[in-house]
Amino acid sequence: MSNFVHLHVHTDYSFLDGCSRVDTLMKRVAELEMGAVAMTDHGNMCGAIDFYNAAKKFGVKPIIGMEAYFVNDHSMGDRPKQDRIRSDDIDGVEADPSLLKPENFPKYQIHHQTLLAKNFTGYLNLAKLSSESYERGFFRRPRIDFDTLAKYSEGIIALSGCMNGVASQYLLYSDYENARKTVAKFLDVFGRDNYFIEVQNHFMPQDKKIIPGLVKLAREFGLRLVATNDSHYVRKEDSAAHDAMLCIQTGSVLSAERRLRYPNNEFYIKTREEMELAFPDLPEALDNTQIVADMVDLDIKFGENHYPKYVKPAELSFGADEANFNRILDIYESKKNEVLKQNGQNPDFKLKPEDRRKFMENGLLLFDLAKKGLAKRYGVDYDNPSAYVPKPGEPPDRAKFLCDKLDYELSIIIGAGFVDYFLIVYDFINWARSNGIPVGPGRGSGAGCMIAYLIKITDIEPIRFGLLFERMLSLERVSPPDFDVDFCQRRRDEVIDYVRGKYGTDRVANIITFNKLGAKQVVRDLARVMEMPFDRADAIAKMVPDSLKMTLDEALKISPELRREHDTKPEVREIFKEGFVIEGMIRQTGKHACGIIIGDQRLSNIVPMMIQEGTLTTQYSKTPDEELGLLKADFLGLKTLTVISDAQDNVRRTRNAPEFDIEEVSIDDPATYRLLNMGITVGVFQLESEGMQNLCRRISLSSFEEIIALIALYRPGPMQFIDQFIEAKKDPSKMHVPHPLLRELVTETYGVLVYQEQVMMAAQIISGYTLGEADILRRAMGKKKPEVMAKQRAVFVRKAKEHSNIDAAEAERIFAVLEKFAAYGFNKSHSAAYAMLSYRTAYLKANYPVEFMAAVLSSELGNMDKVAKFIEACEAINITVLGPDVNVSRQMFTPIINPEWKPGQHGNMFEDSPGSIRFGLAAIKGIGDAAASAIVSERDKNGAFKDIFDFIKRVGTKNLNRRVMENLALSGGFDSFGIDRGHIYASIDAIMNHAQELEKDMLSGQTNLFDLFDAAGDSSGSSSRDIIDASKPPMPLADKLLAEKELLRYYVSGHPMNEYADFDTALEEIPDSKLVQRIRRVQFRACGVVSNVVKRLTKKDKRMWAYFTLTGRDSDKNWQINFFPDAYEKYSRLITEGACMCVIGECRSEDGSQPRFNGQSIESMNSAISRFAQDAEWLIDPGENAEAFVKYLSHCVHQNLKGDNIRHKIKIRVSETDYVEMTSPSITTDFDSAVFKKLRAQPAVVNLTVRARPIPIPEKKQWNFTRSAQA
């Protein structure tokens, strides 16, 4: 065993400076047979628990410390400007002495101070010091000073620090006297036994100057020396990786001359022998490190309960039913002894009187709330259950069963010590509901708890849907329950603020997260610092497979092209060489998306704290926080709840139905199931993906339980059982039953064990497990540890014989079945809670589609692509989205209902239009909430705007910049003023300048703004005519459409494909998907507008390909087209946004999957019509108009339509069903959209029918193509 210990070590928690992963560090320390090691990261303790646990695992004593940032007075800010130096000079060991002014020490300079926790008191004080440095001492760095050290010095060992320590810096400038005074001050704080002089030798010139002075100080004060190495990486050869990491931190490159760098490669975990070479004359300094290690006796106290005590509001009264409460505690004693007996322990557990009194403090309140909930939820009076009259279909002992379940669950909750937890969660949920903040029905295993349902923590009925309390909590497995609560995304922060206000801002905090360097990120970062060209770096990074836990080593194994690059290109090998070292290290910190920590005291008394983005945050991640006894609550912001709330408000307003409550609707609504089974689920929670839409159609849902199963099944593992589920639903005789005793259990899911709860209940049925024991079995099956599974299998087989007389072979088979499904099983409680949100959104879409889709659109104001997607979904159910109008639109999308509409009973349930939706002003690209709010607020206050001048006068130029005005004009927002969009757009500068001049005049008191604008806006006045430039032609339709697509993501004034009406329909040949799935490859021809072009490189040979959306005139004509490399290379110049094109290609389906459209050629619509249009058949009315049409057609042939591609036929209508074909000479022409538009507009024209030539058969006959038209 080495008698040298490293006391100055930086891990990757010294963010992008320490290049040592904790596990790698511990492995090296253990290899060197060092009995202890310290962690001293820069200014934080973020890794302390990770470090502590890893050290224990490797048999090494953990010494938790911190290299604090030290200043003379942390209340002071920065130094005078002329005395400032760069921050990297402050912290880097290469600091240029000429930049540092000794007269400023220690007034301004940030120094490094090594601090080590000697015991648990010291650990807590270290946490307080770190917290204080962030909360009160932060300026560029989290800083402490002498006063703070003195306050929290107990239990801490201090070393004098590295070269940037206060004394060392004085010595660097030959100022021994001030160095001496500094040591004296530290001695006053820590005392002689806990203060050591730290010496380091990295073979730099500065070391030679500092070390003699430090030795002299030690001799003068009688202090012990300790030798340390400022370790920033584990092995000497990691130096280059560390240097690259510094470049990542500073945004620099390796070749930069002036950047943060370490002067040599001496900053690693050295052996005792290497340290002896550095300190040949100071062997005692090495031995003294072991003395420091021996002084440390730190045992961190895990498992303590620091949950806050729930404080009952004064207005909350409750009955003190102590007799029944004591009976419930008796139940807990009995259940506890049953578990002890099962585990072979002495069943002699008895609650002490003081424990009973303690449990009563808030236990009586929870008991009372549960009793009241029992009456409200189920109509059962707990104190008089016999008065309950069972409803039809309910068992006669229903009331007794519910009361007994209440007693049982409450006994476990009380005994496990979670009463306050339940009350805290109840309290903030109750506050949210009372303040109109939507709360989700539940999430996770908590939905299986009846007590949670009774006190309205959850809103899913656990008994009806077979949800299990033991999935959340049992005596066999006592772990903190975890209620992840969904709140309306818009108002989630209000609930968190309430919790902060109730329990104290110093007792409630966010949770830190650590974002680590993944394989792709490592490649990109290192390629940048090595100055590899961006395109090349991007190409290599894309060779790394997309996977959350992908490593560089794994990537090389599974990616042949990456391996080839690595093996043949030295620069790529260099990236991987350094990448293997830094991969997995922390790149930056963040805040947990939804987790909040709550404690029973100031959090810095328990864990170190920091400030992130102005918010108090724990330095530990969620797992250490929970292990140290703090309450973690997840406050999730769920957009779906916002949508449901907004849709409900829309319904109440549009239907004049203030009592409408989505939480009260029936879960057996026929229209809802029709909508689901038609797969019209865009916008429906969890069911809107294309795969889910198809699955809804296949399953043909008929009950809420099937929605629960659907959500559980549609995941990577259990997807393999979907066909079995559907087959058995259609034909129950095909249902697979694992054992006759389990038939009733699996009937609900048609023989498939979908849920974890089914595995638990199967163990109970077959082998007599308690549900608590069964949950332990389920968890063991999920983790698949061989030694644990062997033990569990033996117990299961034995108990199966004892409980059900099932022989060993059969029990083994059943166990194997359960084990298989346990690996895929989903938490039914979670699935049921989510199914409720799925159902409610589906109900709203089926019954109130306009109100619902308006809410869905409003929820995506900042995401134009999703707005476009949901507008398409509106059009698919016959809802028109109207363009924006400053005189009608509100900030959000506004529903305009058809009050007569009801969902169709047969065929298309949206055959009649349910209504329309007015585009929201804030959804227009570039408008924003502030401008939209100002417009709507002014209009609500003072009425509609008369014209553009009245508009800008009343809203004001402070709310309307040039871009806002331009985008309102181009999107049609000013159309109601009766002025052409182009004319307004061309006049924006003049309008804005004029408005600003008038506002200046008004501010200077020269005139009255309203009077001047009234004059300017008078349509009869010359000012108006002068400002609006109407000299140019009106804006062409094509330009309008282009602007609408850009600003609104959809077309309002028409559709670019309208000019090809009839021809596009004739050209289209889209095969039926079932045909494609049957014969795999069929040709197609599609016409539409190109949008959403995405370009990619193939992984194998890095060739460019692309995919895009092709959208026809009708909302249901929407295809994703792939152009793979050969075709893309040939046609790339034609694949442009907004172009009207015709695509020919191959529709493919592999193994019955959804067909894919692979383009083989693309051409403009004009070109395609000229090539493929064959006949234009005109049906006209007889009389003078008919003659005029024929003359006009002949005129067009001579003047405009040269060519012979399209043959015109004229038919004269003689009745509704009969016509006569004209025998005039054959007329043939080419295509011209403008001329055909004029022809269609002729009074005589009734209809135009176009016939097209079929798709040409490809030459490669071996592909066995089938033309869809013939199929």
Task: Please state the separation of Cα 662 from the chain's center in Å.
Answer: 26
1181 part of a folded domain: yes
Whether residue 879 is found in the same domain as residue 915 = yes
- Specify the pLDDT at position 93: 37
Which of 1048, 1083, 1114 delimits the end of a domain?
Answer: 1048
- Specify the pLDDT at position 1225: 64
- Specify the pLDDT at position 1007: 54
- Specify the pLDDT at position 830: 94
Whether residue 1074 is found in the same domain as residue 1142 = yes
Total residue length of the chain: 1271
- Specify the pLDDT at position 479: 82
Whether residue 1002 is found in the same domain as residue 1129 = no
- 1142, amino acid identity: C
- Coil, helix or strand at residue 159: strand
Contact assessment for residue 1143 and residue 1121, using Cβ atoms and an 8 Å cutoff? yes
Alpha helices in 976-1086 (DSSP H): 981-986, 988-1003, 1009-1017, 1022-1027, 1037-1048, 1063-1067, 1073-1079
Q: CA angle, 945 as apex, 944 and 949 as ends, to 5°?
A: 170
Which CATH number characterizes residue 222's domain?
3.20.20.140
Whether residue 984 is found in the same domain as residue 1020 = yes
Whether residue 1078 is found in the same domain as residue 954 = no
Whether residue 87 is found in the same domain as residue 59 = yes
436 part of a folded domain: no
Whether residue 51 is found in the same domain as residue 104 = yes
Q: Exposure string (b/e) for 1169-1187, b if CB count within 10 Å is 16 or more?
A: bbebbeebbbbbeeeeebe
- Specify the pLDDT at position 240: 96
pTM score, whole prediction: 0.83
Locate 1149 and state its tokens.
């389906």
Give, to the nearest 10 degrees, the angle between helix 808-822 and helix 786-804: 130
How many independent structural domains does the chain possess? 4
Which CATH number characterizes residue 547's domain?
1.10.10.1600
489 part of a folded domain: no
Please choose, from the candidates 585, 53, 61, 562, the residue with its C-alpha nearest in 3D space to the C-alpha of residue 292: 61
Task: Compute the distance between CA of residue 980 and CA of residue 1034 in angstroms, rounded to an integer.
Answer: 6
* Residue numbers of the domain that contains 1038: 848-1048
Whether residue 33 is found in the same domain as residue 147 = yes
Whether residue 988 is found in the same domain as residue 1023 = yes
Contact assessment for residue 1174 and residue 1207, using Cβ atoms and an 8 Å cutoff? yes
Please choose, from the candidates 44, 47, 90, 92, the residue with its C-alpha nearest in 3D space to the C-alpha of residue 68: 44
- Specify the pLDDT at position 1227: 82
89 part of a folded domain: yes
What does pLDDT average to in each consecutive run of 10 residues of the chain (1271 residues)?
91 96 97 97 97 97 98 60 36 40 56 98 98 92 94 98 96 95 96 97 95 97 98 97 96 93 96 97 97 97 92 76 91 91 88 90 93 97 94 94 97 94 96 96 93 96 95 86 90 96 96 95 96 92 86 91 93 96 95 93 97 94 95 94 97 96 95 95 94 92 96 91 94 94 95 94 95 90 83 94 95 93 90 97 98 97 87 92 96 96 82 95 93 96 94 91 95 95 93 84 62 48 64 88 89 89 91 74 91 84 88 83 93 91 89 80 94 90 84 79 80 82 75 84 90 77 42 31
460 part of a folded domain: no
Q: Exposure string (b/e) for 835-871, b if CB count within 10 Å is 16 or more?
A: bbbbbbbbbbbbbbbbbbbbbbbbbbbeebeebbbbb
642 part of a folded domain: no
- 952, amino acid identity: I
Task: Compute the distance between CA of residue 844 and CA of residue 661 in angstroms, rounded to an integer.
Answer: 11
Task: Compute the distance between CA of residue 775 and CA of residue 478 in angstroms, rounded to an integer.
Answer: 11
Whether residue 1044 is found in the same domain as residue 1084 = no
Whether residue 1107 is found in the same domain as residue 1182 = yes
707 part of a folded domain: no
Strand bridging mode 1206-1213 / 1173-1180:
parallel
Largest Cα–Cα distance of the chain, in whole Å?
A: 124
- Specify the pLDDT at position 1224: 60
- Specify the pLDDT at position 96: 41
Whether residue 1037 is found in the same domain as residue 1098 = no
Which of 269, 295, 321 delimits the end of a domain?
Answer: 295
Q: Quick one: which H or E segment has residue 514?
A: strand 508-516
474 part of a folded domain: no
Which CATH number characterizes residue 1194's domain?
2.40.50.140
Task: Compute the distance between CA of residue 781 and CA of residue 817 in angstroms, rounded to an integer.
Answer: 11
267, 609, 831, 1093, 1266 from 828: Cα distances, Å: 53, 37, 5, 40, 46
